[in-house]
Amino acid sequence: MLPRLHFAHLPTPIEALPRLSAELKGPQIWVKRDDQTGLAFGGNKTRKLEFLIADAQAGGAETLITAGAVQSNHCRQTAAAANRFGFACILVLAGEKPANPSGNYFLDQFLGAEIVWAGGSGREQILEQTFESALEDGKKPYLIPYGGSNEKGAAAYAFAMQEMLDQKADLDWIVFPSSSGGTQAGLVVGGQMFGYQGRILGISVDKPAPDLQESVAMLAGETARTLGESSKFLPDEILVNDNYLGAGYGVMGEPEAEALNLFAQQEGLLLDPVYTGRAAAGLIDLIRSGFFTADQNVLFWHTGGTPALFAHPYLERILAG
């Protein structure tokens, strides 16, 4: 049995979105509110950290080390979890230090995390160097992978699937942003373990579908084995749509701006510009193109990320939308 702490606000609610459903004239849309998991503005990484922090404690670690983009939701939640459970925290962030802290990066600083900038070097290379340096300095580091997406982190979403089915079992589709693959791998494993009869569709935020399908299938297999299951998954069994990559990771376009505005103005529901905004843009386009039928129930799994709303240059684009 995997060690686990319990600090996320669970179960997160499932809510109907009747005005958005009527506006789009498609299926009935529902939302799973993992933006309300409770840790420093919440998000999907909080579920994963329940398992990852427990593993760090079990191994006697004293410092959490992880990596992400400047506006990483994962890094923000890791820094908050470190404070809650008495760890030091080092974050390796991609690129150069911004002139003005905003959004998640502001919160990283506010939470007191030590920040290492990868600059022009590869983030994974700097992450490895940072870990080795902390090890040599006697800081007893625990390395959390990008997005918290290993078999322990992904296991959280196998149990999240069980939670969802206990709340509402008649959902035909689950749609959500997929990037590092842990959330999707966990949902796929949980769907098999707990008998979900619908389909699980990841909207890729940054990777070509074949690459993401392969990594999710591999991680799903590792996660299943960790949970005592013998299941294997083939890449072709993993549903990924990569039609909404736009100009690249973290670059907001008109589809994302429209999605943020529609969710906010129709339902008072805030999305983020990078992950849920892109996935919602994909959901909206799929509804308009008739991909879903009017009699279906479609769940949008909100993975959080709203602090990025307050990071430039997103604000101007959102308001212009």
Residue-wise burial string across 172-200, b where 16 or more C-beta atoms lie within 10 A, e elsewhere: bbbbbbbbbbbbbbbbbbbbbbbebebeb
149 classed as catalytic: no
Phi/psi for 234 (5° steps) reads -100, 145
Dist CA 278 CA 276 (whole Å): 5
CA distance 108 to 115: 8
Could you identify the residue written with the tokens 């840790």? 39
Phi, then psi, of 277 in degrees rounded to 5: -65, -45
Structural contact between residues 199 and 166, judged by C-beta atoms closer than 8 angstroms: no
The vertex-136 CA angle with 130 and 142, nearest 5°, equals: 55
Question: CA–CA separation, 291 vs 282, rounded Å?
Answer: 11
Q: 218: part of which helix (H) or strand (E)?
A: helix 209-226
| Dihedral-angle region of residue 248 (phi above 0 means left; psi in -120 to 50 means alpha; beta otherwise) | left
Rounded CA separation 276/287 (Å)? 16
Residue from 227, 78, 244, 222 nearest 176 by CA: 244
Q: Report whether 33 contacts 300 (CB < 8 A).
A: no
Nearest CA among 309, 230, 298, 232 for reference residue 276: 309
Task: Report the C-alpha gap between 212 and 203 in whole angstroms.
Answer: 10
Catalytic residue among 21, 72, 149, 215: 72
Any idea which residues carry the catalytic annotation? 72
